Amino acid sequence: MRTRTSARIGQYAALLAYLLFLALPFLWLLSTAFKPPRELGSLHPTWIPEDPTLANFRQAFDEQPLLRAALNSLLAAAGAAVVAVLIATPMAYVMARHRTRLARAATGWVVVSQAFPFVLVIIPLFLVLKNLRLINSLPGLVLVYVVWALPFALWMLVGYVRAVPTELEEAAAVDGAGRLRTLVSVTGPLLAPGIVATALFAFITAWNEFFFALVLLKSPEKQTLPVILTHFIGAEGVADLGPLAAAAFLATLPSLVVFAVIQRRITGGMLTGAVKS
């Protein structure tokens, strides 16, 4: 009995250590965001700002076009999420319900694309988009994000489709409903929660993305939040810490909120995927 108690204490201690490691950097970001310049220059920084201020946030908006960038990010992420789900759902349906050669090839692509070398894709992608006159344009970026979000979206959706009993579809077919009709009015509503979770996940992935945005968008008024954030850091790596922290914190908020909403579903989605494969 005694050893069990001490083991429990050890477990809690280990868990606490993990949580500190994971949470402290984020708390430090928060703390820095609310500190006035005098405290940021101090040689003995404190965890809790002695004189908390919102000035950093105001300055951040003055220094960089944050609103414009946030709007761009929102458009790119929302566009990518909606389009990705629209085209992934029918495909996931086929992959889950039919064991054709096409479905198998698609599953193979989903796995391989997880290991996709960005270096090898980005240069041709840049040239292809240039030919389509989609360089330095948000629609071009949305296209790239859609393809980039597809593997995980398919992976999640296939799991959700498999959880819908086929009997329901067979019943609809017996009642004379066509394929598309069955998909839209029987399977669709049952899939809705999974589709929303997948869309939100695609949204976060696109909202957080940096590399493609850096390469594909050139003019400052088109750039997304992550790219604008790096502009706070000067050429010599010197940054105005307060506004930098404030802007970084703001840019994280939407992802955190959305993630909190779908957290359970993502872990659940990975679970079903893992069990099925």
Return the residues of window 176-195 that contact other proteins according to CB under 8 A. 179-180, 183
Segment near other proteins (CB under 8 A); pick from 19-27, 48-56, 62-70, 189-197: 19-27
Q: Quote the CA–CA distance of 231 and 6 in Å, as a whole number.
A: 51
Report the alpha-carbon distance of residue 144 to residue 258 in Å, rounded: 22
Among 36, 45, 49, 65, binds other proteins (CB under 8 A): 45
Among residues 148, 153, 116, the alpha carbon closest in space to that of 212 is found at: 148
Binding other proteins (rule: CB under 8 A), the pick from 144, 156, 191, 202 is 144
What type of residue sits at position 183? L
Residue 238 in contact with other proteins, rule: CB under 8 A: no
Q: Which residues contact 173 (CB under 8 A, 6 or more apart)?
A: 182
With contacts defined by CB under 8 A, name the span among 54-62, 64-72, 184-192, 226-234 that binds other proteins. Answer: 226-234
**Nearest CB to other proteins, comparing residues 68 and 259:** 259
Q: Rounded to an integer, what distance in angstroms lies between the CA atom of residue 223 and that of residue 136? A: 9
Rounded distance between C-alpha atoms, residue 233 and residue 243, angstroms: 10
Return the range that interacts with other proteins (CB under 8 A); candidates 48-56, 57-65, 188-196, 220-228: 220-228
Q: How far is CA 142 from CA 82, 83, 94, 153, 158, in A?
A: 10, 9, 24, 15, 23
Q: How far is the CB of 58 from other proteins (least distance, A)?
A: 19
> Which residue stretch of 55-63, 64-72, 189-197, 258-266 sits at the interface with other proteins (rule: CB under 8 A)?
258-266
Site membership for other proteins, residue 9 (CB under 8 A): no
- Check residue 61 for interaction with other proteins (CB under 8 A): no
Judged by CB under 8 A, how many residues of this single chain contact other proteins?
A: 103
Q: Note whether 21 binds other proteins by CB under 8 A.
A: yes
Tokens 């404190």 belong to: 46
255, 202 Cβ separation under 8 angstroms: no
Residue 18 CB, nearest approach to other proteins (Å): 5
CA–CA distance from 56 to each of 43, 95, 258 (Å)? 19, 50, 25
Does 202 bind other proteins (CB under 8 A)? Our answer is no
Report the alpha-carbon distance of residue 139 to residue 137 in Å, rounded.
6
55 forms part of the interface with other proteins (CB under 8 A): no
Phi-psi region of 79 (alpha: psi -120 to 50; beta: other; left: phi over 0): alpha
Site membership for other proteins, residue 82 (CB under 8 A): no
Note whether 29 binds other proteins by CB under 8 A: yes
Nearer to other proteins by C-beta: 68 or 162?
162
Give 67 or 235: the residue with its C-beta nearer to other proteins: 235
- Compute the least distance from the CB of residue 98 to other proteins, in Å: 6
Candidate residues 2, 44, 62, 234; the one interacting with other proteins per rule CB under 8 A? 44
Closest CA to 197 of 84, 57, 61: 84
Kindly state whether residue 78 participates in binding other proteins, applying the rule CB under 8 A. Answer: no
If binding is defined by CB under 8 A, does position 124 make contact with other proteins?
A: yes
